[in-house]
A and B are shown apart, each in its own frame.
Chain A
Amino acid sequence: MGSFLNRERVISIVCIAFAGWVYYEAGKFPTSILDTVGSTRYPRFLAIVIGIASAFHFVLSNVESKPIGGGREYKSLVLLAAIIFGYLFFMPRVGFIAATIPFLLALTCHFDKRDWSEKLKIAIPYSVIFTIAMYVFFGKVLGVLLPGLGILGG
């Protein structure tokens, strides 16, 4: 990316666009005779702060952006998102225990890079024992509301 439209300037443009959107949307709020200030002024004030700070950032970011350090495990991130989506979809339907065991198993099996036989020896007891321990500790000892047992009948 060239030094004019570098990463930092793209970020500034996104922030300015966000500030513009907040400013515009805030203008749509109805006014009330009961409140002399109205619902609009404060969000517009915030939009102006974000907009001005972003504009300054745009102006000051006139050098080539340094690459961001660290690895780039896109696949792992997408897979993690998919596993969480699945967990959140199934948890209210099948209950905490029935959803959490496969959730932990899927996570540990994917991210543990050892041989299958070796990792399953830890992953299976970990998923089962940890889930039940958490259910008992939070659900029964602390009285926290956890998703019911669902299809396991709770």
Chain B
Amino acid sequence: MISLFLQGLAESFMPVTLLHITFGVVWGIIGGAIPGISASVAMSLLLPFTYSMNPLLSLPMLAAVYVGAEYGGSIPAILIKTPGTGAAAATVLDGYEMHLKGQGGKALGISLYAGVLGGLVSVMVLVVSVIPLSSFALKFGPTQYFWLSLAGLSIVGAVSGNSPLKGIISAAFGLYLAVIGMDSFTSVHRFTFGIFRLSNGLEFIPVLVGLFAISEVFRQIYEGEVYDVIKEKVKMTYPTLKELKYVTPVVLFGGVLGSIVGALPGAGATIASWLSYSQAKVLCKDTETFGTGDMRGVAAPESANNGVPAGGLIPLLALGVPGSNSTAILMAGFSIAGIAVGPMLFINQPEIPYKIMGSMFVAQIILLFVGLLMLKPAIKITSINKVYLTAAILMFALVGAFSTLNDVFASWMVLVFGFLGFLMKRYGFAPAATVLGFVLGELVEDNMRRAFQLSRGSYGIFFQGTINIALIAIIIFGVSFPYITSWLKARGEDKPGTTKTKN
């Protein structure tokens, strides 16, 4: 295991791979630094251009975008009180306060240090945990995969959107989108509306780019955010060695926490960063300074959210099931390259998962250097007139989709799914859950049908065995969790003597 990882690491240091990883990190930082462009949007915009690339280069590049974007989100969070990604929201609390005290540069330096160290810790967690998990997954049959996919989907659905039910509808809609096209078992055309180009099903890229990138552009234009122009000047001062040492325990804790949360379906970087912030507040001494510009308040969420990308790779590589929208895009990258993720990948093509893990490690190191070099340019990105960024994103998305099929039909599909995603966001649905459903759709249906064939149409097979029962219990818990927490909250507020507080 370690020797294979070292081999993957050595390959990631090859000049061509380094170049791709560096490009990915830079792209990710830029994407993350632009408010509204999350890691998933930055990744989806680059996805079409990986079509003709070697997967041993394109996949590390996509993983590096994820790493860069999680760090990039902290830049506008610290400087303009606007988190570039949802995960950077917790960074605002102390990061912006530090900036107001003239320590913006120091906060960015702490964020970079925490991100890199947290990321490295999480890669180590990934390397150690992925093989035992994938060995366990080898015991899985069709029913276990069916329930596992539904477990991931239901949890993501339940915590996305403005209501758990809308999240579940969004996820089921994603599964429906994967039905469109010719049925691989019977060759029956399903929901193709007589459109020949839909016979092979919906392509990943138009759906992903439309639902993530274009829908966000539509939303920003519709809500007038595209006109926002922010000019901000920041004095550059870097953290001292003593200060870095001071925040290191918090960073190491955040890195481990980020990997664990990242591995859980539906949790993601936003939850990881808030959890790390609150836990740091509980575990550290002298925490009354939190929220007033304490550098530990920057280090804790930043290390956790940078730990999430490698953590998110644990279920993706070991089980073949993505737990978040960014890992769903990465899975789409695997599918485009014709590679099936899951435990068999470690047996058939072990060089690929280990190269990805090695690349994640290298991406963290590159992030340190590129992050330092890009601090000043990235600060400027946050003050660029959004109109020009929006125009560039639109162009990228439409032309990128075109290039995948060499057909303008793909660009029209981007437009259709962009508008659909915009409506979904507007009315509280969760496009991220739809994307996850779409990516997992084939896996869910194929395994369901295989299970039915094995049992000759009997439903009993789905409820046999400990793993199936455990997965069903996880689904029930995942779906009911938001309702249980809101019920407990309401009960707490109704108790006599409890004052209602507004968040």
Contact = CB atoms under 8 A, between A and B. Distances in A.
> Do A and B truly interact?
yes
A80 interface: yes
Given A138-B49, A145-B403, A39 B394 contact: no
Interface stretch (B217-225, B230-238, B297-305): B217-225
Interface stretch (B10-18, B173-181, B266-274): B173-181
A144 B391 contact: no
Contacts of A37: 185, 448-449, 452-453, 457
A15 B49 CA distance: 35
Contacts of B218: 77, 80
Interface size class of B (residues with CB under 8 A): 35 or more
Contacts of A43: 176, 179, 190-191
B412 interface: yes
A36 B227 contact: no
Interface stretch (B104-112, B160-168, B277-285): B160-168
B387 A91 contact: no
A1 to B, nearest CB: 14
B147 interface: no
B392 interface: yes
Interface string A53-83: 1101100100000001011111011001100
A88 B179 contact: no
Interface in B138-169: 163, 165-166, 168-169
Contacts of B351: none
Contacts of A57: 163, 165-166, 169
B399 A146 contact: yes
A16 to B, nearest CB: 10
A25 B189 CA distance: 12
A84 B445 CA distance: 35
Contacts of B222: 70-74, 76-77
B188 A111 contact: no
Interface residues of A, number: 64
A74 B222 CA distance: 6
A61 to B, nearest CB: 9
Contacts, number: 169
A43 B395 CA distance: 35
Contacts of B398: 84, 87-88, 91
Nearest to B392: A130
B455 to A, nearest CB: 9
A49 B408 contact: no
Given A11-B427, A46-B179, A104 B403 contact: no
Contact of A80 (B186, B221, B388): B221
A32 B452 contact: no
B185 A35 contact: yes
Given A43-B176, A96-B399, A29 B394 contact: no
Contacts of A15: 169
B390 interface: yes
B467 interface: no
Contact of A36 (B52, B219, B391, B457): B457
Nearest to A77: B222
20 contacts: A15-B169, A30-B188, A35-B186, A35-B453, A39-B185, A46-B172, A46-B179, A53-B165, A53-B169, A57-B163, A77-B221, A80-B218, A91-B411, A103-B391, A104-B395, A107-B387, A111-B387, A122-B388, A130-B392, A143-B52
Given A49-B168, A134-B395, 18 more contacts: A15-B169, A32-B188, A39-B183, A39-B185, A50-B172, A70-B223, A71-B224, A76-B226, A77-B218, A88-B408, A91-B398, A91-B411, A100-B395, A104-B392, A107-B390, A144-B49, A144-B403, A145-B402
Interface of B: 49, 51-53, 163, 165-166, 168-169, 172-173, 175-176, 179, 183, 185-186, 188, 190-191, 218-219, 221-227, 385, 387-388, 390-392, 394-396, 398-399, 402-403, 406, 408, 411-412, 415, 419, 426-427, 445, 448-449, 452-453, 456-457
7 tightest A-B contacts by CB?
A71-B224, A70-B223, A107-B391, A111-B387, A37-B452, A57-B165, A39-B188
